[in-house]
Amino acid sequence: MAVQFIDPRGRSAVEPHHYDHSVALEADTSVGLLANGFPDSVAFLDAVGDAIAALRPEVSFSRYDKGDASAIASDAMLGEIERSCSAVVAAYGH
């Protein structure tokens, strides 16, 4: 009896497109880690930062935390992220 794999994903109503926003992780790269306020979002992003740092130790990190999952990031926080970071990893969901 052969094993048959079935893809459980349905068909998308939206045509997929290539996401071309990327940043080269070099010595002058600062990556922002934006926690969304859900439990463990800070710990999750710390693990993401550790994984990136293991591959690219020259990259620096700035950590941000909305503190409340139902709130949007403030203009001040977004301005700080824009001024100091080359890229951002944002946690969403829970």
Reported pTM: 0.76
- Residue 51 falls inside a structural domain: yes
Model pLDDT for residues 6-18, shown as the tens digit of each residue: 888 888 888 888 8
Structural domain contains residue 2: no
Q: Residue 45 belongs to what domain range? A: 30-90
62 lies in some domain: yes
Overall average pLDDT of the 47-63 stretch: 96
- The structural domain count of the chain equals 1
Q: Is residue 1 part of a domain?
A: no
Q: CB atoms < 10 A from the CB of 89, how many?
A: 16
Quick one: pLDDT at residue 93? 65
Q: List alpha helices for the chain, DSSP H.
A: 41-55, 75-84
Residue 83 belongs to a domain: yes
Is 22 part of a structural domain of the chain?
A: no
- 48 inside domain: yes
